[in-house]
Amino acid sequence: MIKHDLGKTRNFLLSFILCISSFTLTGCWSSREANDLAILNVVGIDKNEVGQFELTALIPKLEDRTHQSSSGSAKDKELIFTSKGRSLLESMSQLATSLSKEVYLGHVQVVIFGEKAASESMKESLDFLRRENGFRPNIKLLITKGKASDIINKPTQLKNPLGSEISAFTKTKRITMSSMVQNLSQFTEALSMKMKDPFTGEISAAGDEGIELEQVVSGKSFLKDASSQDSQKKDSTMKQNTDTFSIQGTAVFKRDHLIGWLDKDETRGVLWVNGKLKNDVVILSCPKDESGTISLKINQTSSVSTPQIVNGKPKMEVTIKVDGDIGQITCQNVNLSSDEMEKLNIQLKDKIKQEVNHTFAKVKQEWQADIFYFGESIYRKYPKEWKDISSGWRSGGLKEMPVQIKVITNISRYGLRER
């Protein structure tokens, strides 16, 4: 009897498993085939002269990605569409009607804003991005001084989709400066808070930043014989100038309005204060004032902002700690004794203070924009007092607050030496 019951139970479980398997093998009923989707990789947002939104979308060709073809440039494997509308929703709708496939936003990696759109319509643009369920909160936001469409139409350095290449740029590399690029979630959080202002990275043409790129192209060239006036083919390589993008500067906002731009050095001043600088190179002079330089690689930076309120007025002390290695020496007579190492540490401290104060002059004094999170530091330590301070924070409070900079440096390890 017991064996009979066990046999029935086993048969029931087996039938149940087979039934469930039959459903799972047929696939999910609500799934959408990739071939039926227009998968957007990058979105650009501009505004034209008549106040319309211009939406530029880059869509990698699915067939090229699946076949993993190695021939052809990245632009040969992408489609770029531009649509116009009185709102971004209308622009997106216009884009959808021009495509034979369903628009899919889940793979958008970067949204680029043109300067006019960032200056005039940042708040409503972000409202659209937040409300549209397809956009992920971790997509990168970038601003350009020109039009977003111009950046999207530029060639990438490698054969990756533009969004993938930009995302790679924003990650920490071995010899690059930490980026000020924010994602949608970080930017909108700063926008909604009264104690700090939003910012994000500036994307520009590499040529505008003084970066020249030269591409070596292999192929056939035609050489003319001066005596016979005949032309002949010959295998050769030639170099041609090419242009791509660069991410070095920062776009600074006051509330939801673009207020100005920081160059690479000014951006570094912000990163010192925020304790976010690493993998950057700082050039110092030789200890004995001779010709040559000492290149330092910044490994790690940390900072602590300590507020105090005296007679109802805030003041701030910022302690910056920096660890760096000597990466290269071109000085002729350097033995890097303890005295010379101390001189290098002092020189680095002075350089950091100089860069921070230069950035303060523009951002803190002129723009009165809080991208240093000073207001947040005051709010956390003095929440009651912040209520009185916050009303005039961006109209004199931040500007008048004294800030003392304390720098602690530690230079270690000897690097390469050139004579």
- Does one domain contain both 153 and 44? yes
CA distance 273 to 356: 7
- Does one domain contain both 186 and 73? yes
Structural domain of residue 407, as residue ranges? 263-419
Task: Classify the C-alpha dihedral 175-239-249-156 as positive or negative.
Answer: negative
Question: Does 256 reside within a domain?
Answer: yes
Question: Does 236 reside within a domain?
Answer: no
- Does one domain contain both 283 and 256? no
Question: Does 338 reside within a domain?
Answer: yes
Question: Does 1 reside within a domain?
Answer: no
Instruction: Using the structure block, give the residue that is written with the tokens 């029935």.
Output: 8
- Does one domain contain both 180 and 253? yes
Q: Are 75 and 130 in contact (CB under 8 A)?
A: no
- Does one domain contain both 252 and 142? yes
Bridge-partner residues for 252, per DSSP? Answer: 199, 260
Question: Does 368 reside within a domain?
Answer: yes
Question: Does 11 reside within a domain?
Answer: no
Nearest CA-CA partner of 109 in 75, 151, 59? 59
Nearest CA-CA partner of 246 in 174, 197, 177, 187? 177
CA distance 52 to 46: 8
The last residue of one of the domains, among 228, 262, 296, is: 262
The pLDDT, as a whole number, for residue 316 is 98
Kind plus residue range of the DSSP H or E element containing 309? strand 293-310
- Does one domain contain both 203 and 149? yes
Q: Are 287 and 267 in contact (CB under 8 A)?
A: no
What is the separation, in whole angstroms, between the first and last Cα of the chain? 95
The pLDDT, as a whole number, for residue 139 is 93
- CA 363 from centre of chain: 20
What angle (nearest 5°) sits at the alpha carbon of residue 379, between those of residues 377 and 381? 70
- Does one domain contain both 279 and 296? yes
User: What is the domain count for the chain?
Assistant: 2
The pLDDT, as a whole number, for residue 103 is 87
Strands 140-144 and 199-205: parallel
- Does one domain contain both 58 and 172? yes
- Does one domain contain both 330 and 360? yes
Query: What is the mean pLDDT of each successive set of 10 residues along the chain, which is 419 residues long?
Result: 53 56 44 73 94 93 51 63 94 88 89 96 92 90 95 74 73 55 93 92 74 47 43 46 74 94 94 92 85 91 96 96 93 83 94 97 97 96 95 95 98 60
The pLDDT, as a whole number, for residue 225 is 44
The last residue of one of the domains, among 230, 262, 294, is: 262
- Does one domain contain both 251 and 282? no
- Does one domain contain both 255 and 305? no
Q: For residue 126, how many other CB atoms are within 10 A of its CB?
A: 20
The pLDDT, as a whole number, for residue 226 is 42
Question: Does 24 reside within a domain?
Answer: no
CA distance 212 to 192: 40
Question: Does 323 reside within a domain?
Answer: yes
- Does one domain contain both 384 and 302? yes
Return left, alpha or beta for 27; rule: phi > 0 is left, psi -120 to 50 is alpha, else beta.
left
User: What CATH number does the domain containing 302 carry?
Assistant: 3.30.300.210
